């Protein structure tokens, strides 16, 4: 089953997790054949939020919500069950400085 691991980290802790570590983590998942996608994100200063209301497109600067910990990246992983997903999430380096939300993916009702 697919789980999305959303990585949240405070702005000032971004430097505490070197890119090299995250890269190695992603590779390790890839070698195990469980990595479906993973990306680091640029900080929230670069974010833009888009909403469409009554047919009108509104564009605002910044993330959709101001939070202390911000979305820093994601891993989309294939795991047998939640326990395995949790074990994988615990290996993601930012987990020791911030939070990793683990959310199961849902198939759309088409």
Residues that bind another protein (CB under 8 A): 1, 80-83, 86, 104, 106
Q: Considering the complex, what minimum distance in angstroms separates the CB of residue 29 from another protein?
A: 19
* 78 touches 34 (CB < 8 A): yes
Shorter beta-carbon distance to another protein: residue 35 or 85:
85
Work out how close the CB of 85 gets to another protein at its nearest, in angstroms, rounded to a whole number: 8
Q: In what order do the strands lie in the sheet containing 69-78?
A: 35-40, 69-78, 2-10, 99-104
Residue 97 near residue 16, CB atoms below 8 Å: yes
Beta carbons within 8 Å of 88's beta carbon, 6+ residues apart: 3, 5, 29, 34, 75, 77, 79
Q: How far is the CB of 104 from another protein (least distance, A)?
A: 5
Nearer to another protein, 36 or 86 (CB): 86
Comparison of 51 and 91: residue with beta carbon closer to another protein: 91
């Amino acid at each position: 089953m697919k789980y999305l691991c959303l990585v949240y980290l405070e702005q000032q802790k971004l430097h505490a997790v070197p890119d090299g570590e995250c890269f190695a983590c992603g590779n390790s998942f890839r070698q195990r054949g469980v990595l479906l996608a993973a990306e680091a994100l640029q900080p929230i200063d670069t974010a833009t939020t888009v909403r469409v209301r009554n047919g009108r497109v509104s564009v605002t600067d910044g993330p959709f919500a101001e939070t202390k910990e911000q979305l820093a990246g994601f891993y989309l992983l294939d795991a047998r069950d939640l326990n395995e997903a949790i074990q994988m999430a615990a290996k993601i380096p930012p987990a020791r400085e911030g939070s990793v939300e683990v959310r199961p993916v849902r198939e759309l009702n088409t």
